[in-house]
Amino acid sequence: MGSAAKGWSSRSWVSEAAVGALLAWFDRQGRVLPWRETEDPYRIWVIETLLQQTRIAQAEARIVRFLAWFPSLQALAQAPIESVLEVWQGLGYYQRAHNLHRAAQRLHAQGGFEALWTRPDPLQGLLALPGIGPYTARAILAFSEKGAYLPVDGNLVRVLSRLFADPTPATDRAYYQGQADGLPLAWRQRKVAFALMDLATLLCTPRQPKCLLCPLSAFCEGLRQGAVMRFPVRAERPPRPTRHFIFKLYATAEGVWLVQRPPKGLWGGLWCLPMEELPAPAAEKPTFCHTLTHFQLMGYVERLPSPAEGSRPVEWSVLGQYGLPAPIKRLLLHEAEAYHRSL
């Protein structure tokens, strides 16, 4: 790995001078985001979880809604999972909601964040909770001013790999986080993390980075080598597979028959049409397709003459109170409108 193997902290320019230039830029040009105003570890945890795999524009209203429903760790821990899934509806990646709820219950039972801060290693305590990974654990500690960390997400991998001209593949997130953990203390603070995140969004973009405007241009190894676009090195992604499912629809003018999905797996805990996976594509054209993290879902709707075994009726008028996968919700809203027009 060349010079990257020596570690970032060995670079002669890794000093407070670079941090000072970054923070001066951030004071002038940084984004004003409402959730950055809090140092409450619970709110930070919820916000970071909601922002995963979600665009900021979509997440802002969801953050406000979620925290209105569950304003504290205790409120979330004591809420039924059905309420959590209802508020989560439309965000996708529903396992995040299950993990958030389970972790809240466990942490609340252990005495909450106040008890966690008294432990010898709060980072390991956070990592032991369901759904909290290396980035989120460090974000909770850094942004609540409870630990000196620089949390590294995908955007920071891009900035840091360019800054240090590090050829390590972007997929090796553990390596990048380990290098960040070894940086001098001046780099491992809340404001520096926010500044680097804004730098990634506003200047150090994946395509056409604005290097001439970058406050770290004088320190950037990738720019010095004239090779900014070579970083980060990307491992080749395997193609996303396609899976095929039949969705069994029985509906009347009054409502539709649904089942609740198992807690784990696809659309865990949500309400859905009875479904089963096909070993191969059906002969007819799919009714809908939906892109998920690990595969492309092709859905075929089969209308039934009677309710499927294990399903239960849900009136059209209360359908909105049920947590539904986004494509099923769209399908059923269209179905409800058709019945309404026919009356």
Q: 3-6, long-range: CB within 8 Å, 24+ apart, which pairs?
A: 3/165, 4/164, 4/165, 4/166, 4/167, 4/168
In the prediction, which pLDDT does 2 show?
40
- pLDDT of amino acid 1: 39
48 classed as catalytic: yes
- For residue 130, the number of C-alpha atoms closer than 13 Å in the C-beta half-sphere is 13
- At residue 342, the pLDDT reads 63
**pLDDT of 229-283, one tens digit each?**
999 998 777 889 999 999 999 999 999 999 999 988 899 889 999 999 999 999 9
Strand bridging mode 296-303 / 242-249: parallel
Buried b or exposed e, range 131-140, using 16+ CB within 10 angstroms: bbebbbbbbb
Q: What is the CA radius of gyration of the chain?
A: 24
pLDDT of the residue at 120: 95
CATH 3.90.79.10 for the 242-342 domain, yes or no: yes
3-state secondary structure string, 51-94? Answer: HCCCCHHHHHHHHHHHHHHCCCHHHHHHCCHHHHHHHHCCCCCC
End-to-end CA distance of the chain: 70
pLDDT in tens, the chain (343 residues): 344 446 898 887 777 789 999 999 999 999 998 889 999 999 999 999 998 877 777 778 889 999 999 999 999 999 999 999 889 887 777 889 999 999 999 999 999 999 999 999 999 999 999 999 999 999 999 999 999 999 999 999 999 999 999 999 999 999 999 999 999 999 999 999 999 999 999 999 999 999 999 999 999 999 999 999 999 998 777 889 999 999 999 999 999 999 999 988 899 889 999 999 999 999 999 999 999 988 999 999 999 999 999 999 999 999 988 989 999 999 999 998 887 776 5
| Residue 18 burial class via C-beta count within 10 angstroms: exposed 0-12, middle 13-18, buried 19 and up | buried
* pLDDT at residue number 264: 85
Instruction: Report which residue type is found at 258.
Output: L
Per-residue pLDDT, 35: 84
Show me where the domains of the chain are located: 2-230, 242-342
Three-class SS state of 247: strand
Backbone angles phi, psi at 186, to 5 degrees: -60, -30
Per-residue pLDDT of 82-93, as tens digits, reads 999 889 887 777
Task: Considering the candidates 48, 114, 277, 337, report the single residue annotated as catalytic.
Answer: 48
pLDDT at 69: 96
Domain covering 2-230 in this structure, CATH number: 1.10.340.30
